[in-house]
A and B are shown apart, each in its own frame.
Chain A
Amino acid sequence: MTEMLNCQKVSFLLSQSLDTPLPWIMRARLGLHLLMCRRCAAFRRQILVLTSVVRGAAAALAVDPGHDTAALSPAARARIKELLASQGAA
Chain B
Amino acid sequence: MKPKTDAWVENHGDALFAYALSRVSDRSVAEDLVQETFLGALQVRDSFEERSSERTWLTGILKHKILDYYRRSHRGIAEKTEHTDDPDTLFDKAGRWRNSPENWGETPEDLLGRREFIDALRACIRALPDNQRAAFLAREIDGFSGEDICKKLAVTATNLWVMLYRARDRLRRCLTENWFAKLSPGA
Q: Would you call A61 and B122 a contact (CB within 8 A)?
A: yes
Q: Closest residue to A57 on the B side, CB-wise?
A: B118
Interface size class of A (residues with CB under 8 A): 35 or more
Identify which of residues 27-42 in chain A touch chain B, using a CB-to-CB cut-off of 8 Å: 38-40, 42
Q: Would you call A51 and B140 a contact (CB within 8 A)?
A: yes
Best-buried of A8, A47, A51, A73 by chain B (most CB within 10 Å):
A8
CB distance from A17 to the nearest CB of B (A): 10
Best-buried of B157, B172, B175 by chain A (most CB within 10 Å):
B172
Q: Would you call B39 and A84 a contact (CB within 8 A)?
A: yes
Q: Could you name 26 residue pairs across A and B whose Cβ atoms are closer than 8 Å?
A: A8-B87, A8-B88, A8-B90, A11-B87, A15-B168, A18-B164, A20-B146, A20-B161, A39-B97, A40-B97, A46-B176, A53-B111, A57-B112, A64-B122, A65-B119, A67-B18, A70-B18, A70-B21, A72-B34, A80-B9, A80-B35, A80-B38, A83-B38, A84-B5, A84-B8, A87-B42
Interface size class of B (residues with CB under 8 A): 35 or more
Contact flags A2-23 to B (C-beta < 8 A → 1, else 0): 0000111101100110111000
Q: Closest residue to A88 on the B side, CB-wise?
A: B5
- The answer, yes or no, to whether A62 is at the interface (CB within 8 Å) is yes
A6 contacts which chain B residues (CB < 8 A)? 91, 94-96
Q: How far is the CA of A12 from the CA of B32 in the complex (A)?
A: 36
Contact flags A62-84 to B (C-beta < 8 A → 1, else 0): 11110100111100110111011
Prevailing SS type, chain A contact patch: helix
Interface residues of B (CB under 8 A from A): 5, 8-9, 13-14, 17-19, 21-22, 25, 27, 31, 34-35, 38-39, 42, 87-88, 90-91, 94-97, 100-104, 106-108, 111-112, 117-119, 121-122, 125, 136-137, 139-141, 146, 157, 160-162, 164-165, 168-169, 171-172, 175-176
Q: Would you call A64 and B95 a contact (CB within 8 A)?
A: no
Known: A61-B137, A84-B38. 9 other contacts (CB 8 A): A8-B95, A16-B165, A42-B103, A58-B141, A60-B122, A61-B122, A64-B21, A64-B22, A72-B34
A-B contacts counted at CB < 8 A amount to 158
CB distance from B88 to the nearest CB of A (A): 7
Q: Closest residue to B157 on the A side, CB-wise?
A: A20
